[in-house]
Chain A
C-alpha cells in the first residue's frame, strides 16, 4: 500500500509488505468490505501469450486513501511505530 495509486495483486502485495498470504487475503477482503479497496480482473488482452488466467487486482478508493492516510498519520505520532515506518509509506497519497 506504499504506492497509493495503481493496481496491485494479492501475491505482489504480500511479497512487498512481508505479510503472509494467509493473512493478506483476509485483510484485503475486509478492506474491500469497508470500501477502502476496489477490485477487478486483469484484462485478458494484456496477458498476451502467457498461459495463465487473469488475476484479480486491487486499487485504493478515495475513502481508502483517506483512511490509510489517517492510520499512517496516527502511527507517525506514536513513537512505538516510528522505527517500523519506512520513508516511502509516508508518501501515500491522501
Chain B
C-alpha cells in the first residue's frame, strides 16, 4: 500500500501535502470548515479540537476532516441550496400566479363594470324586438280578423237561438 501511494503521488506532491497539512493545519482547517453551513456547530468544534490533537497527528486528522466536510458539509449545503431553489421557484410561481390573478381580477372588474350596461342594452333590444314582433303579430291578426268580418254578411252569423 505505501509503495502504491508513493508511486501514484510522488515525492513533490507528498512534500507539498506535508507542508500544507503539517505546517499550516489551522489555515487548512479554516478552509475545510467553510464546507459546513454557517450555523453548524461543527465549525467551532473542529477548530477547537485541532488544538487537542498532537502535532504529529494533525496532518492526518485534518485530512480526515476534509473527508467529513466533503461528505457531510457539502451535502448539507447542497440540501440547503435545493431548498432555497425550491423556495425561489415557489416565489416566482406565486408572483406569476399573483400577476395572473391580478390580471383576472382586473379583467373581471372590467367585465363587471361593463356587464350591466351591455346586458341592459341587450335586454332592452331583445325586449323591444319582441314587443315589435308581438305588436306586428297583433296588428296583423286584428287586420285579418277585420277583413274576415267585413267579408262576412249577417246571414253568416245565423239566427239567434230561440228561447
A81 close to chain B: CB less than 8 A:
no
Q: Which of B34-90 contact A (CB under 8 A)?
A: 41-42, 44-49, 51-53, 61, 64-65, 67-68, 72
B68 touches A52 (CB 8 A): no
Contact assessment for A12 and B64 in the assembled complex, using a CB-CB cutoff below 8 Å: no
Given contacts A21-B61, A39-B41, A56-B41, contact A10 B67 (CB under 8 A): no
Name the residue of chain A whose CB is nearest to the CB of B72: A26
Give the interface size class of chain B: 10 to 19
Please, what's the 1-or-0 string for A1-39, where 1 marks a CB less than 8 Å from any CB in chain B? 000000001111000000011100110010000000001
A69 smallest CB distance to B (angstroms): 27
Distance of A55 Cα from B52 Cα, bound (Å): 9
Q: Is A53's CB within 8 Å of the partner chain B?
A: yes
Residues of B within 8 A of A50 (CB): 51
Chain B residues engaging chain A, CB cutoff 8 angstroms: 41-42, 44-49, 51-53, 61, 64-65, 67-68, 72
